[in-house]
Amino acid sequence: MSEQDQFRELIEAYALGSLDEQERVMLESHLTAGCADCAKALAEARWVTSQLAYLAPAAQPSDMLRARLLRTVRADAAAQPVRPSKPAVPVWLWAGIAALFLFTAYTTWDAWKLQRQVNEVKKRAAEELKLREQLQEQLAVAKREARIVMDPRSKKIILPPHSPDMPQLEAMWHPELGLCVMGQKVPMPGKNKVLQLWLIPKTGGKPMPSQMTWPDADGKLNILVENPPEVMAETKALAISEEPLGGSLQPTSTPMWVGGVS
């Protein structure tokens, strides 16, 4: 038996933690010396040890280890009557402890991974729910706008632009469902500005502030006012002006669009 083989014989028992002190020190100094063959054999032995935890039939201890285990057991049996005081820890117990330890480590890792997956699914479900709520809200708005536009009781109001290079807007006002203002190719207001809708009362009072909005990326403007601050019969005109973010209590710039409610 070469020196190399002697060390190889020790490795599986080492992986199980069943070497005696002298053998362990010998093997560890050999491994520290950098023997690649033994390091590889140790990695394999540790894999076999870990597989013992799942009782995988493919991962049987080698004949070498089995012979050694038998020898250890025989030696223990032989030594027992002579030295009954020696605390003989049977190798199967070490193997059991090693297997249990590995199994526990694996189970903990698995539980942690599962918990992370559960959290990920929960997060995704919450995001989806939020998205669905937003879609339902958008759908409700679109339905209401469609009803306002289609209903013959709605009044159509044209809002010509103040500047000739701006598109014309159109509004539909339904006595119960509300008011919607629509436009295409509407340019984005300036930085930190918003488009604000105003209802100008017939009595000559101050314009009443209403909704604020921006056109979408395609320049589509869509304002739905479900509860206008004034009834149609009391309103002289609709106007839209550019206002600072957050809106204003009364217009601070010349309206970009004004349309008479006749």
Residue ranges in contact with Zn ion by CB under 5 A = 7, 35, 38
Run of H or E including 73? helix 63-82
Answer whether 261's CB lies under 8 Å from 235's CB. yes
**Least distance (Å) between residue 3 CB and Zn ion:** 8
How far apart (Å, rounded) are the C-alpha atoms in residues 120 and 130?
16
Q: Which is nearer to Zn ion, 7 or 198 (CB)?
A: 7
Q: Which is nearer to Zn ion, 35 or 141 (CB)?
A: 35
**Least distance (Å) between residue 27 CB and Zn ion:** 9
**Least distance (Å) between residue 36 CB and Zn ion:** 8
Between helix 63-82 and helix 3-15 the angle, nearest 10°, is 80
Q: Which is nearer to Zn ion, 30 or 174 (CB)?
A: 30
Q: Which is nearer to Zn ion, 35 or 149 (CB)?
A: 35
Kindly give the residue spans of alpha helices, DSSP state H, lying in 53-203. 63-82, 91-150
Residue 235 β-bridge partners: 201
**Least distance (Å) between residue 7 CB and Zn ion:** 4
**Least distance (Å) between residue 62 CB and Zn ion:** 16
Q: Which is nearer to Zn ion, 68 or 174 (CB)?
A: 68
How far apart (Å, rounded) are the C-alpha atoms in residues 187 and 192?
14
**Least distance (Å) between residue 66 CB and Zn ion:** 21
**Least distance (Å) between residue 61 CB and Zn ion:** 20
Provide the token pair at 146: 């469609």
Q: Which is nearer to Zn ion, 8 or 174 (CB)?
A: 8
Answer whether 221's CB lies under 8 Å from 186's CB. yes
134-137-139 Cα angle (round to 5):
110
Q: Which is nearer to Zn ion, 29 or 203 (CB)?
A: 29
* Cβ-defined contacts of 59-65 (< 8 Å, 24+): 61/12, 62/12, 64/8, 64/9, 64/12, 65/12, 65/13, 65/16
Q: Please provide the distance, in angstroms rounded to a whole number, between the alpha carbons at the two ends of the chain.
A: 111
